[in-house]
Homo-oligomer: A and B are copies of this chain.
Amino acid sequence: MDPIWGFPFTLPAHGSRELLRALHGQLRTAILDGRLQPGLRLPATRELATALGVSRNTVVAAYDLLLSEGYAVARRGAGNYVADTLIRGRAQPVIDDDSKMQHRLAVYWRHVPAPPEGQVPTGAFRYDFSVGVPDHSQFPFEVWRRLSARALRALSKAMPAYGPAEGRPALREAIARHVSFARAVACRADDVIVTTGAQQAFDLLARVLVTPGRTTVAVEDPGYPPVRAAFAAAGARVVGVPVDEEGLMVDRLPADARVIYVTPSHQFPLGMVLSPRRRAALLEFARTQHALVIEDDYDGEFRYGGRSLDALQTLDRAGSVSTGSVCYVGTFSKCLFPALRLGYAVPPPWLQPALTAAKQLGDWHGDVLAQDTLAAFITEGHLVRHVRRMRNVYAERRQALLDALARHAGDRLLPIPSNAGLHLAARLAAPVSAQALQALAMAVGIRPEALDGYAAGKSDINGLAFGFGMIEAGRIEEAVLGLTRLLDDRLSPLTQR
């Protein structure tokens, strides 16, 4: 937000203690990873307080912590500086004669997560529309606990030394039946590779498919940033391709795209479904250009009316001979909860051995107890029951959101048509930037997400995304009302001018 040193601070809206922890944590990380260079003079406390809009006491306290930890040194009468000697020992790569290795470090430095104390926790806002977070308040934890205890008892009698890299057989079987039935994805247990969340599936695909500096990967723009980051870190040339009301604009794909990442059931973050003719065109492109399509079906379980379209993977296999152009990726992060870290890939057979080897070299295999518990959870019907229950919950919230937007936001926030998932996007049809509106809203305890954060580069959709995993149906209208009031306040001087 503030370019005072050319890097942004993400500070929570409320609470001086949280503010202090966030500011201190972000300063320290910046010192450790070298964004704040040794010997740099820190801004005067008053100057930084004004720039960030926080109290001077908060900045003084953050500096005191840095001084006591040795990350900063005070020079009498000359202010505070990033520590010099300490930093040389601590923060500089010892490997400094290999510019290429420095480059590899730099690749990852670009993606260093904010320290825990600098992250705004979900649920910190009165009206939280965080995207991608399901509601776990109705998750049957008691059932999970029982199945987990049972799985552990079985494991205590027959614990494998190491499990198979592809995942536990019972879970692969359960997932294959589940996706065959729920998503009409053609697959057998042998086709499934269990991963640590969908993110690991994308990362393994990046490692197996990308030749650094040579492979072009096409992604939707706007789209899902962690996938872009994983492919970029693997050395891919990542190209954003625009989406319209039919989803990915297939005719805008670069001819040399060898990997194409799409969210056909529910475009992330805009929400449209990839149309049947685009699906056909995309598969045709993949066949003729010898490209692989990664189909990310992250929240397709939650559909609200409308005809269900076949998965791309299903379409690809429908011909007399499959061309093996689609790798389907699913996750239990949305239909159960993200902290479970379980996802899966259904790669075409030519890709499976290499992907399995990458998984084995990457971490051998994932947590066995969680896999066995999930296998029982699916097999005994709890997944289907939970999804059915939550679909009703989310459908009610989605309707409340649509109603409130129609009633209060009129022609200023226009929902983008969508019939699935845990969030809804809306175009901001007013001369106000979504980021500015989000900042104003967060200051009064309402957190929508500006779409800007999902742009891969060229997209310039001015709008907000509203996740409905964290907010109850009965509170949605208040939130939308609050938001439209802010919008009107902001607009009124403009209209008066």
In this assembly, does A484 line the interface, its C-beta being within 8 Å of a C-beta of chain B?
no
Give which listed residue, B97, B130, B160, B290, contacts A97 with CB less than 8 A: B290
Chain B residues contacting A354 (CB-CB under 8 Å) are 33, 104-105, 107-109, 112
Q: Is B163 a contact partner of A152 (Cβ separation < 8 A)?
A: no
The answer on a CB contact under 8 Å between A200 and B108 is no
A430 close to chain B: CB less than 8 A: no
Cβ of A228 to closest chain B Cβ, rounded Å: 10
Chain B positions within 8 Å of A362 at CB level: 199-200, 203, 230, 362
Q: Tell me how far the C-beta of A454 lies from the nearest C-beta in chain B, rounded to whole angstroms.
A: 17
Please tell me if A53 contacts chain B, counting CB pairs below 8 Å. no
A148 adjacent to B144 (CB under 8 Å): no
In angstroms, Cα B162 to Cα A121, docked, is 9
* A199 cross-chain contacts in B, Cβ below 8 A: 361-364
In this complex, what residue of B is CB-closest to A230?
B361
Q: How large is the interface on A (under 10, 10 to 19, 20 to 34, 35 or more residues)?
A: 35 or more
Q: CB within 8 Å of B: which of A332-359? A: 337-341, 348-358
Contact partners of A209 in chain B: CB under 8 A:
95, 101, 104-105
Contact indicator A353/B29 (Cβ below 8 Å): yes
In the bound complex, residues from chain B placing their C-beta under 8 Å from that of A229 are: 361
Inter-chain contacts of A351 with B (CB < 8 A): 93, 105
A108 in complex: contacting residue of B103, B197, B358, CB < 8 Å: B358
Complex contact B363–A108 (CB within 8 A): no
Partner-B contacts on A (CB < 8 A)? 29, 32-34, 85-86, 88-98, 100-101, 103-105, 107-113, 116, 119, 121-122, 130, 132-133, 136, 139, 141, 144-145, 148-149, 152-153, 155-156, 159-166, 169, 195-197, 199-200, 203, 207-212, 214-215, 226, 229-230, 233, 235, 258, 286-287, 290-292, 321-325, 337-341, 348-358, 360-370
Further pairs besides A122-B161, A226-B364: 15, Cβ < 8 Å? A89-B321, A90-B349, A92-B324, A94-B324, A100-B211, A100-B214, A111-B360, A113-B357, A136-B159, A144-B152, A161-B337, A203-B363, A212-B212, A229-B361, A341-B368
